[in-house]
């Protein structure tokens, strides 16, 4: 009964459906955007949004009886487990630091996971007895981050991601389970490349891994000898193209990969490990990301991202014939480390969320085509609340490019041009706003703010040309796309063009600063979260890999210094008029606190309205519940005061 009710609720959560490709998106008439009437709708308590948990990272036990996962049930992301048939979850670990990436040992005696240190992204690997007990720190390194453990078939070794704090590259390393000795396997020497996605061959002699450039525009799959580190490229190519390894078939003959088709659209394919011949599974102008094989090799999975909505597919290996899993609209995917299939192959662990439903784990029965909800993250008060759902809209920007955006329209609004609006730029810039459970949007929209989250040029999900469209033009065309999102809000007839604010984190924080500096007349208030003020000073303080990522977007800091200067909000911020709130984690290695300190100093120096708050023991984004609640409470209060 509970599952059927949940399905009915989910089915109403998404108002608009995606186009068949980016080329077929229809422009939305802003005057046809509506505000539904809903009796009893009102401001959702902020505490309810954040006491509703976040859940993910499921992993089957070897006997298929239990599932380990991560949840912030207590306000911290710790390790939990639950019976695969349902029931009350049991907390396995306790820490103020973020824990995740659970994976069981082959004998079922241990669960491994990774744990951060104060948000600084220096992870150690831990093992905890699966029945409960004291956790053991397997790596205990202050200057190396070890993540993503994958067991060898024999259970005697682990392939892991390995990054030194002072180095730009991430390598693949091998750890001996008994001695804890770690040996770097890939030893990357080029600073603008990294290794990821390590997979063992069935005989344990080979590790398959993907070498990716810092701009995430080129990638190739390699076969690496697990003893000597000798490498063989399996997907050689000319120019930029991405092929990423996702899974190895049980017989070791085939790799399931995600590879670019013409136009730079990722699609699923099967790669013969011997001949290197590639067979396409999908041919889409959306993103199709490969998943994993079933334990008998008869099935494999992939997920299709269509304009910010995702669907999960189960395909026959022999024929490639695929069936979409019968799940509610929103974000649907597979969960499981190392795989989503249960050990007996009869069940699949999946995840689901939408704009009105937080993420949870479900167990899917392919034979019955039915999912049973396993975790229940929503507290009862929020389940009974009336949350405005997202709507997918499309508009043309200044140069005719079509921009997709998610729109949240509060209930019971009058189309009288009196309401406030807020633009929500996403992070990245190589990222995408998808139809997730957005707590910021829910808090704001339920309080009368019309919110829009555009996928501006530079976003993923719309082909490589679109992704590269802001290279050496950060804060240029992509900022204009944000401006046209504000214009769309006003064009609906609901929003007062003089009562529009902007807020975002990371690159969204950068866009917030660029917006109020370059287009000061448009914004009535702003909240900047861990955003960049000066790309030159960012290079001095940020993580070494992110320095390489920054160069991939802006060029050489010496030869292209003018590009850096023109893309830095510090050049324009003194023109800003909008009252500004700055929120920042003190241990952020991605956008260090020096960036926020510069923003606050300039605003104070020029006599503008500014406030700030720095969160101790937090990194890039806020992981602790009390800090999440504090950040959105401050944001709402700021917009209430100035919009």
Q: For the residues 25-40, what does the mean pLDDT come to?
A: 96
Q: For the residues 207-214, what does the mean pLDDT come to?
A: 98
CATH number at residue 389: 3.40.50.1820
Residue 3 above 70 pLDDT? no
Per-residue pLDDT, 13: 33
User: Is residue 309 helix, strand or coil?
Assistant: strand
**Beta carbons within 10 angstroms of residue 253's beta carbon:** 14
Please indicate, yes or no, if residue 297 is contained in any of the structural domains. Answer: no
Total domains, the chain = 1
Please indicate, yes or no, if residue 111 is contained in any of the structural domains. Answer: no
> How distant, in Å, are the alpha carbons of 73, 79, 100, 112 from that of 76?
7, 10, 11, 18
Per-residue pLDDT, 20: 84
Instruction: Give the model confidence (pLDDT) of 234-278 as tens digits.
Output: 999 999 999 999 999 999 999 999 999 998 999 999 999 999 999
Q: For the residues 581-588, what does the mean pLDDT come to?
A: 96
* Cα–Cα distance measured from residue 388 to residue 328, given in angstroms and rounded to the nearest whole number: 17
Mean pLDDT of the chain: 94
Instruction: Give the model confidence (pLDDT) of 460-507 as tens digits.
Output: 999 999 999 999 999 999 999 999 999 999 999 999 999 999 999 999
Please indicate, yes or no, if residue 224 is contained in any of the structural domains. Answer: no
HEC per residue, 19-82: CCCHHHCCCCCHHHCCCCCCCCCCCCCHHHHHHCCCEEEEEECCCCCEEEEEECCCCCCEEEEE
Per-residue pLDDT, 115: 97
**Beta carbons within 10 angstroms of residue 50's beta carbon:** 24
Please indicate, yes or no, if residue 308 is contained in any of the structural domains. Answer: no
Please indicate, yes or no, if residue 484 is contained in any of the structural domains. Answer: yes
Dihedral sign, Cα of residue 460, residue 462, residue 466, residue 468? positive
Question: What tokens were used for 444?
Answer: 């704001």
Confidence (pTM): 0.94
Please indicate, yes or no, if residue 337 is contained in any of the structural domains. Answer: no
**In the chain, % of residues over pLDDT 70:** 97
Per-residue pLDDT, 2: 28
Question: What tokens were used for 76?
Answer: 């911290």
Question: What tokens were used for 504?
Answer: 């975002």
Q: Among 541, 543, 576, 538, which residue's Cα sits nearest to residue 557?
A: 538
* Cα–Cα distance measured from residue 489 to residue 343, given in angstroms and rounded to the nearest whole number: 50
Please indicate, yes or no, if residue 330 is contained in any of the structural domains. Answer: no
* Cα–Cα distance measured from residue 345 to residue 130, given in angstroms and rounded to the nearest whole number: 22
Which residue, chain included where needed, has tokens 């509703």?
52
Long-range contacts of 550-558 (CB under 8 A, 24+ apart): 551/192, 551/214, 552/192, 552/213, 552/214, 552/215, 552/217, 552/471, 553/215, 553/429, 553/470, 553/471, 553/472, 553/474, 554/472, 554/474, 555/472
Question: What tokens were used for 199?
Answer: 């997979």
Is the Cβ–Cβ distance between 291 and 302 less than 8 Å? yes
Q: Among 85, 182, 201, 202, which residue's Cα sits nearest to residue 141?
A: 182
Instruction: Give the model confidence (pLDDT) of 100-144 as tens digits.
Output: 999 999 999 999 999 998 998 999 999 999 999 999 999 999 999
DSSP per-residue string spanning 575-600:
G--S-EEEEEETT-SSS-HHHHHHHH
Per-residue pLDDT, 18: 55
Instruction: Give the model confidence (pLDDT) of 597-614 as tens digits.
Output: 999 999 999 999 999 999
Q: In terms of residue numbers, what domain contains 34?
A: 9-48+381-642
Q: For the residues 366-376, what does the mean pLDDT come to?
A: 95
* Cα–Cα distance measured from residue 259 to residue 48, given in angstroms and rounded to the nearest whole number: 41
Q: Among 289, 254, 296, which residue's Cα sits nearest to residue 275?
A: 254
Instruction: Give the model confidence (pLDDT) of 279-324 as tens digits.
Output: 999 999 999 999 999 999 999 999 999 999 999 999 999 999 999 9
Q: Among 71, 70, 103, 65, which residue's Cα sits nearest to residue 86?
A: 65
Q: Residue 493 burial (CB < 10 Å; 0-12/13-18/19+)?
A: middle
Q: Among 463, 21, 468, which residue's Cα sits nearest to residue 264?
A: 463
Instruction: Give the model confidence (pLDDT) of 51-60 as tens digits.
Output: 999 999 999 9
Per-residue pLDDT, 19: 81
Per-residue pLDDT, 385: 83
Instruction: Give the model confidence (pLDDT) of 385-423 as tens digits.
Output: 889 999 999 999 999 999 999 999 999 999 999 999 999
Please indicate, yes or no, if residue 460 is contained in any of the structural domains. Answer: yes
């Amino acid at each position: 009964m509970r599952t059927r009710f949940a399905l009915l609720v989910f089915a109403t959560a998404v108002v608009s459906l995606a186009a068949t490709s980016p080329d077929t998106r229809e422009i939305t008439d802003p005057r046809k955007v509506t505000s539904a009437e809903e009796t009893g709708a009102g401001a959702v308590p902020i505490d309810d949004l954040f006491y509703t948990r976040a859940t993910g990272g499921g992993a089957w036990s070897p006997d298929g009886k239990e599932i380990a996962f991560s949840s912030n049930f207590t306000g911290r992301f710790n390790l939990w487990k639950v019976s695969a048939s349902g029931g009350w979850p049991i907390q396995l670990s306790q820490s103020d630091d973020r824990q995740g990436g659970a994976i069981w040992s082959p004998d079922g005696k241990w669960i491994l996971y990774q744990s951060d240190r104060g948000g600084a992204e220096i992870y150690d690997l831990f093992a905890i007895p699966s029945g409960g007990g004291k956790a053991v720190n397997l790596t205990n390194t202050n200057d190396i981050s070890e993540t993503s453990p994958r067991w060898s078939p024999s259970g005697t070794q682990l392939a892991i991601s390995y990054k030194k704090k002072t180095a730009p590259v991430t390598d693949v390393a091998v750890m001996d389970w008994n001695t804890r000795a770690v040996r770097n396997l890939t030893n990357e020497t080029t600073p603008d490349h990294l290794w990821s996605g390590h997979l063992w061959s069935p005989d344990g002699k080979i590790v398959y891994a993907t070498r990716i450039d810092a701009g995430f525009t080129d990638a190739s799959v390699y076969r690496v000898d697990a003893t000597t580190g000798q490498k063989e490229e399996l997907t050689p190519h000319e120019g930029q193209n991405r092929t990423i390894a996702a899974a190895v078939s049980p017989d070791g003959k085939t790799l399931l990969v995600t590879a670019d088709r013409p136009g730079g659209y990722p699609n699923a394919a099967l790669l013969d490990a011997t001949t290197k011949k590639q067979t396409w599974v999908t041919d889409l102008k959306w993103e199709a990301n490969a998943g994993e094989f079933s334990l008998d090799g008869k099935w494999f999975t992939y997920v299709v991202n269509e304009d910010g909505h995702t669907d999960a597919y189960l395909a026959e290996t022999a024929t490639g014939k695929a069936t979409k899993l019968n799940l509610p609209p929103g974000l649907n995917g597979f969960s499981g480390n190392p795989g989503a299939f249960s050990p007996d192959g009869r069940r699949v662990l999946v995840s689901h969320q939408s704009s009105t439903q937080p993420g949870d784990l479900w167990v899917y029965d392919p034979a019955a085509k039915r999912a049973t909800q396993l975790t229940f993250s929503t507290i009862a008060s929020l389940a009974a609340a009336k949350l405005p759902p997202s709507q997918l809209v499309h508009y043309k920007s200044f140069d005719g490019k079509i921009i997709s955006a998610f729109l949240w329209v509060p209930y019971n609004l009058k189309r009288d041009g009196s309401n406030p609006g807020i633009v929500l730029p996403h992070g990245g810039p190589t990222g995408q706003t998808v139809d997730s459970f957005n707590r910021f949007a829910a808090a704001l929209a339920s309080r009368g703010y019309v919110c829009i989250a555009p996928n501006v040029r530079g976003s993923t999900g719309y082909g490589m040309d679109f992704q590269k469209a802001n290279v050496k033009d950060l804060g240029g065309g992509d900022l204009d796309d944000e401006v046209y999102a504000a214009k769309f809000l006003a064009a609906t007839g609901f929003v007062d063009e003089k009562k529009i604010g902007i807020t975002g984190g990371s690159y969204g924080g950068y866009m917030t600063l660029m917006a109020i500096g370059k287009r000061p007349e448009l914004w009535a208030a702003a909240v900047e979260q861990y955003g960049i003020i000066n790309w030159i000073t960012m290079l001095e303080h940020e993580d070494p890999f992110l320095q390489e990522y920054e160069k991939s977007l802006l060029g050489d800091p010496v030869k292209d210094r003018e590009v850096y200067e023109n893309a830095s909000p510090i050049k324009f911020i003194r023109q800003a008029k909008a009252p500004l709130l700055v929120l920042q984690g003190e241990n952020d290695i991605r956008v260090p606190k020096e960036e926020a300190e510069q923003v606050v100093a300039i605003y104070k120096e020029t006599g503008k309205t500014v406030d700030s708050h720095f969160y101790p023991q937090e990194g890039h984004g806020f992981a602790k519940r009390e800090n999440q609640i504090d950040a959105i409470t401050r944001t709402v209060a700021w917009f209430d005061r100035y919009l």
